[in-house]
């Protein structure tokens, strides 16, 4: 079985072809970072226009690279939400046109659930060994913790009540003068810094609450930088920036560790932890999870932590196999009404 995935929920345009064994034949991602960098973050209108320009050429390039005709594709999977509405509309409209023209089933996919399935792209997987599982998706837009009885059964246990974890990395990076997107740059500066230099507030201390919060930590860094600038001047010395990055990173990741430990305690049946999304690329997060979490953690490759269409095709394929072709004939759904995750009972 071959599936075509289409991803356009934020600032990466992705097209990929995967087979029924989660093998990636081709996965193309066109990044828009250069268009948004000058603004220090993603500009939704620019993102939608860029998707519009790149989608068709990227689709043709992907099929050519895979030496596959659209006739050989069994299903089309597209990100239907959550994400920037203008960006989603471009990908979904393209996918609907393709489905209409070819008669292929179209599978609408939840982007955040798709991130979880990115783990299956890179890990040899035996479901019975790994489920039930906990899943942590940490990206620029989401900080979600799920209980999963099976790969298709998502119960949202917790999410952020304000900023997402990756968003706080991007905002702190901008404040210390590092370019967007800032997560990886904070991590590399943090390697040269001492995480104990600047004590950070411990957010969401309540040991019974799984919810996340990052805006207080970000605000703390705003005031810390103001104080440091009074001492050092507006251009902070490199050692100071490195110490701020290390101190911030340790607490930002520390909150993920504490809440995951709490979830592992609340859900003792969990056999594994699946970790995905851009922040899962962090080497420091991987180290800390390995040391501080009592169940085995699985991650995608660093490239597949970022937004891509292979994860969408992979998850779409699992839905298609589970629900059958009849479930995916209709095209009368839209990006406004679908895939708003609901809080589960476990929060």
Residue closer to ligand KG4 by CB (options 94, 248) is 248
Q: Return the DSSP state at 124.
A: -
Residue closer to ligand KG4 by CB (options 299, 328) is 299
Q: 103: Cβ–Cβ under 8 A, 6 or more apart, which residues?
A: none
Q: Is 239 helix (H, G, I), strand (E, B) or coil?
A: helix
- How far from 264 is each of 150, 193, 229, 275, CA to CA, in Å? 17, 31, 41, 14
Query: Residues 266-305 vs Zn ion: string with x where CB under 5 A?
Result: ----------------------------------------
Under the binding rule (CB under 6 A), the answer on residue 88 touching ligand KG4 is no
Size of the residue set binding ligand KG4 (CB under 6 A): 20
List helix spans (H) across the chain. 33-37, 44-66, 85-102, 111-122, 127-130, 165-175, 183-190, 215-232, 238-266, 283-292, 302-305, 310-323
State the nearest-atom distance from the C-beta of 231 to ligand KG4, in Å: 27
State the nearest-atom distance from the C-beta of 71 to ligand KG4, in Å: 32
The string of DSSP letters for 275-322 reads EESGGGG-HHHHHHHHHH-SS-EE---HHHHSS-SHHHHHHHHHHHHH
Under the binding rule (CB under 5 A), the answer on residue 160 touching Zn ion is no
Listed ranges 88-96, 134-142, 186-194, 224-232: which one lies at the site for Zn ion (CB under 5 A) = 134-142
d(CA 299, CA 306): 12
In the region spanning residues 176 to 195, those forming contacts with ligand KG4, defined by CB under 6 A, are: 181-184, 187
Q: 286: Cβ–Cβ under 8 A, 6 or more apart, which residues?
A: 275, 280, 297, 299
Under the binding rule (CB under 6 A), the answer on residue 278 touching ligand KG4 is yes
State the nearest-atom distance from the C-beta of 306 to ligand KG4, in Å: 4
Q: Is 128 helix (H, G, I), strand (E, B) or coil?
A: helix
Under the binding rule (CB under 6 A), the answer on residue 10 touching ligand KG4 is yes
Under the binding rule (CB under 5 A), the answer on residue 32 touching Zn ion is no
Q: Return the DSSP state at 160.
A: B
52-75 residues labelled b (16+ CB within 10 A) or e (exposed) = bebbeebbeebbeebebeeeebeb
Half-sphere exposure of 108 (CA within 13 A, CB side): 21
Query: Residues 301-330 vs ligand KG4: string with x where CB under 6 A?
Result: -----xx-----------------------
Listed ranges 15-23, 117-125, 161-169, 323-331: which one lies at the site for ligand KG4 (CB under 6 A) = 161-169
Binding residue for Zn ion, selected from 87, 139, 143, 255, defined by CB under 5 A: 139
d(CA 8, CA 10): 6
Residue 169 interacting entry, from Zn ion, ligand KG4, none, C-beta within 5 to 8 Å by type: ligand KG4
Q: Is 131 helix (H, G, I), strand (E, B) or coil?
A: coil
Binding residue for ligand KG4, selected from 84, 95, 281, 319, defined by CB under 6 A: 281
Listed ranges 209-217, 276-284, 324-332, 335-343: which one lies at the site for ligand KG4 (CB under 6 A) = 276-284
Under the binding rule (CB under 5 A), the answer on residue 307 touching Zn ion is yes
Listed ranges 15-23, 73-81, 119-127, 272-280: which one lies at the site for ligand KG4 (CB under 6 A) = 272-280
Give the interface with Zn ion as residue ranges (CB under 5 A): 139, 307
Binding site for ligand KG4 (CB under 6 A): 10, 139-141, 166-167, 169-170, 181-184, 187, 277-279, 281-282, 306-307
């Amino acid at each position: 079985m071959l599936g075509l995935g289409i991803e356009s929920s934020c600032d990466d345009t992705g097209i990929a072809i995967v087979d029924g064994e989660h093998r990636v034949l081709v996965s193309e991602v066109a990044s828009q970072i250069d268009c948004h960098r000058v603004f220090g973050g993603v500009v939704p209108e620019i993102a939608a226009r860029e998707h519009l320009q790149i989608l068709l050429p990227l689709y043709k390039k992907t099929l050519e690279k895979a030496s596959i005709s659209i006739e050989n594709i069994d299903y089309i999977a597209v990100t239907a939400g959550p994400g920037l509405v203008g960006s989603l509309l471009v990908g979904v409209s393209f996918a609907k046109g393709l489905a209409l023209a070819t008669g292929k089933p179209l599978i609408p996919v939840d982007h955040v659930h798709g991130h979880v399935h990115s783990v299956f792209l890179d890990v040899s997987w035996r479901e019975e060994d790994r489920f039930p599982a906990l899943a942590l998706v940490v990206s620029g837009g989401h900080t979600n913790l799920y209980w999963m009885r099976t790969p298709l059964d998502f119960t949202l246990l917790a999410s952020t009540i304000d900023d997402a974890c990756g968003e706080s990395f991007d905002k702190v990076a901008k404040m210390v003068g590092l370019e967007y997107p800032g997560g990886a740059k904070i991590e590399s500066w943090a390697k040269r810094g001492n995480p104990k230099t600047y004590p950070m507030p411990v957010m969401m201390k309540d040991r019974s609450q799984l919810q996340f919060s990052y805006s207080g930590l970000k605000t703390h860094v705003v005031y810390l930088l103001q104080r440091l600038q009074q001492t050092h001047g507006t251009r902070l010395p490199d050692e100071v920036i490195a110490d701020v990055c290390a101190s911030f990173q340790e607490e930002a990741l520390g909150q993920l560790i504490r809440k995951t430990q709490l979830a592992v305690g609340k859900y003792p049946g969990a056999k594994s932890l699946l970790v995905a999304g851009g922040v899962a690329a962090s080497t420091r997060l991987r180290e800390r999870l390995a040391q501080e979490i009592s169940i085995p953690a699985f991650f995608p490759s660093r490239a597949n932590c970022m937004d891509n269409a292979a994860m969408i095709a992979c998850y779409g394929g699992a839905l298609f196999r589970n629900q059958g072709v009849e479930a995916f004939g209709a095209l009368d759904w839209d990006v406004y009404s679908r895939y708003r995750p609901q809080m589960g009972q476990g929060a």
